[in-house]
Amino acid sequence: MSSWKMDRKNAMTKSNPDTTLLAGRLARLFVLLVGCAALLSAHAVLKQSSPAANAVVSGPDVPVHLRFNSRVDGKRSRLFLIDGANAEHALPAPAQASPAELSSVAKGLQPGAYKIRWQVLASDGHITSGEIPFRVK
């Protein structure tokens, strides 16, 4: 009888540190989430592109121009052309007319469907990426 009481008491005292640990974990998770949300505001978000999404443009050479909401590191940013067979071709290293812009050119495009794939490093140290589908007429 007394041993049952002891076990029960032990179980109850044990549950308190578990609860404290869980609360600590939740607190740390909350701090992480808030931190991420703060950082998200500095992520590079594409604001404007040429070609625009789903645009039909003339070939064979297609200038590519991207403008972001924040400065991006041109040296650590990459632009690719995805062709109709889903093959990826690196575009020439992007130039920067301003810290939030990237420019390059896709040359020798035949009529068809393509995508520009961009991957950029923002000033907060985070990488974002995306794709812009377009057609060459």
Residues that bind Cu ion (CB under 5 A): 39, 43, 124, 126
Instruction: Please identify, using beta-carbon distances, which residue of 121 and 136 lies nearer to Cu ion.
Output: 121
Give the Cα separation of 38 and 30 in Å (integer).
Answer: 12
Dist. CA 65–CA 22, nearest whole Å: 49
State which residue has the least CB distance to Cu ion: 126
- How many whole angstroms separate alpha carbon 46 and alpha carbon 117? 12
Task: Kindly tell me which of 62 and 120 has the beta carbon lying closer to Cu ion.
Answer: 120
Side-chain-side CA neighbours of residue 107 (13 Å): 3
CB of 119 to Cu ion, least distance (A): 14
Closest CA to 78 of 49, 114, 118: 118
* 109 versus 120: smaller Cβ distance to Cu ion: 120
Q: How far is the CB of 4 from Cu ion (least distance, A)?
A: 55
Check: CB of residue 10 under 8 Å from CB of residue 89: no
- Nearest distance from residue 84's CB to Cu ion, in Å? 33
Shortest Cβ distance from residue 104 to Cu ion (Å)? 24
